[in-house]
Amino acid sequence: MILEIYKSWVIVLVLHECIHIFLVILFGGKIDRVVIGNFFFIKMKKVAISPIIINCSVSFEERKNWNLFKKSLILLMPAIVNIIMGILIGYDHLFIKVFSIFIGINSILPIPYLETDGYLMFKELQQAFREKKLK
């Protein structure tokens, strides 16, 4: 049971980060680093993997031609996919269903300390409004 919970958590987290990676590459960005887990990392080029996975992250270089729409897709689409997946998955995969909705909602929330996707999107909106105000 505990292994099933942990496996479901890891599947949902890795899927979330894979969507970030896919969209960055799709829009011509460059992946700096992918971190999967928290402690005792095994490092391979740009990827650091740990056997203890509580959270994951992806850092990337954005292109100069990215507008606010592309940035918002990269930051918020994984959370949207998580929520949709949580709604559509059947109850035979209950933990994946619950974790998908949990991670999707928590990713959208603008929590500064955790630097969630929602917080990063909030910072992008602030920057866009500042640039628009200066023009």
Q: CA-CA distances (angstroms) from residue 57 to 71, 95, 129?
A: 16, 21, 26
In this prediction, residue 34 carries a pLDDT of 93
Mean pLDDT of 70-83: 95
| Mean pLDDT of all residues belonging to the chain | 92
φ, ψ at 67 (rounded to 5°): -95, 180
pLDDT of 135 above 80: no
Q: Where are the domains of the chain?
A: 1-67+78-105
Task: Name the DSSP letter for residue 63.
Answer: P
